[in-house]
């Protein structure tokens, strides 16, 4: 099943069911007005939404309309909880090198995770504001899951049942602000502005064999300024989403609508490219002795997408342009 949220005058938008080919959609206010409402009543809503999805794919719904991805917000325009992990070891090592920091000693045994701002997300086609060059604006292509209610103490082997939906994310980062914030000991805040998510979120079942062991085994395609930038395999996570859920729920319950990110998708094979500028810059320094690629500036664009084995777009496309912010700093 594939779901999305249409932009309206409210902060939470209108829930819609989207066809498998991303061409048609239909509102489902008789089932749930918003995705958050559906998630909080998933056992009741899911079977009804599945019926609509089947009818939509069969072409038997008179209420359906043509999909325009520019009309879609992030599936959850705001969320009670946004927790972003860092499950790709290569990415952790490279970005730490880039800022002169050592990897943690428990790198391979304990997941890294930060709590991001989730009161306002960008839509998948919304411009990214550029405040100052010194901020080091960067994109980060990731996979994420949306959970139902997760009890405190949930173990990885029991976590699959709590994963309701899967989607993509551009975890916008300000590399120039990160070292100063982390040095203060309280983690990311200013250095992590609003993220953007893919237009559509899908159930694990929709991914078929590509979803196994709590990982999405498909390449994540990034195009920077309309040129290929990377297509690393998302399935190369050191920590699965099951393990990330266990980590997040160690000391607290997680509310329905919690979003958990994979961290920037990264592979050991450099031929597969990267999913963020920080990695590419560090590889340039290692391989060529100097950094050549600048961070994002007004006019730059980033496109993030994932396709199935037949080449069909699964989640729709994140496509964002950097614009000069009305708020500026020297």
Q: What is the pLDDT of residues 209-238, one digit of tens each?
A: 999 999 999 999 999 999 999 999 999 999
Query: 301 forms bridges with which residues in the sheet?
Result: 321
Entry pTM: 0.96
In sequence order, what E strands does 231-317 have?
A: 259-261, 301-305
Q: What is the pLDDT of residues 2-55, one digit of tens each?
A: 999 999 999 999 999 999 999 999 999 999 999 999 999 999 999 999 999 999
Domain boundaries, the chain: 2-67, 76-324
What is the C-alpha to C-alpha distance for residues 265 and 277, in angstroms, rounded to an integer? 12
Supply the pLDDT for residue 58: 97
Q: How far is CA 7 from CA 16, 133, 164, 197, 230, in A?
A: 11, 31, 22, 13, 30
The rounded Cα 12 to chain-centroid distance in angstroms is: 18
Does 76-324 carry CATH code 3.40.980.10? Answer: no
Q: What is the pLDDT of residues 155-194, one digit of tens each?
A: 999 999 999 999 999 999 999 999 999 999 999 999 999 9
Question: Taking 90 as the threshold, does the pLDDT of residue 96 lie above it?
Answer: no
């Amino acid at each position: 099943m594939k779901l999305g949220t249409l932009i309206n005058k409210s902060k939470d938008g209108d829930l819609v069911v989207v066809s498998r080919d991303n061409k048609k959609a239909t509102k489902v206010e008789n089932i749930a007005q918003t995705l958050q409402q559906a998630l909080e009543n998933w056992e009741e809503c899911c079977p009804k939404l599945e019926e609509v999805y089947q009818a939509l794919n069969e072409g038997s719904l008179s209420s359906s309309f043509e999909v325009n991805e520019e009309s879609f917000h992030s599936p959850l325009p705001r969320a009670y909880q946004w927790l972003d992990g860092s499950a790709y070891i290569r990415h952790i090592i490279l970005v730490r090198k880039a800022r002169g920091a050592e990897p943690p000693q428990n790198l391979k045994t304990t997941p890294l995770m930060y709590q991001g701002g989730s009161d306002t997300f960008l839509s998948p086609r919304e411009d990214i504001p550029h405040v100052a060059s010194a901020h080091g604006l960067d994109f980060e292509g990731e996979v994420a899951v949306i959970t139902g209610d997760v009890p405190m103490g949930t173990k990885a082997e029991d976590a699959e049942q709590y994963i309701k939906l899967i989607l993509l994310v551009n975890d916008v980062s300000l590399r120039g602000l990160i070292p100063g914030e982390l040095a203060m000991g309280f983690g990311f805040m200013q250095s992590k502005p609003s993220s953007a998510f893919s237009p559509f979120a899908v159930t694990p079942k929709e991914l078929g064999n590509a979803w196994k062991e709590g990982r999405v085994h498909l390449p994540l395609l990034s195009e920077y300024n309309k040129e290929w930038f990377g297509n690393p395999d998302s399935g190369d996570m050191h920590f699965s989403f099951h393990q990330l859920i266990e980590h997040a729920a160690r000391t607290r319950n997680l509310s329905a609508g919690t979003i958990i990110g994979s961290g920037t998708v990264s592979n050991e094979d450099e031929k597969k490219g990267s999913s963020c500028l920080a990695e590419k810059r560090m590889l340039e320094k290692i391989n060529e002795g100097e950094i050549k690629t600048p961070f994002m500036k007004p006019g730059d664009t980033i496109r993030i997408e994932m396709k199935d084995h037949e080449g069909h777009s699964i989640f729709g496309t994140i496509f964002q342009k950097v614009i000069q912010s009305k708020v500026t700093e020297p």
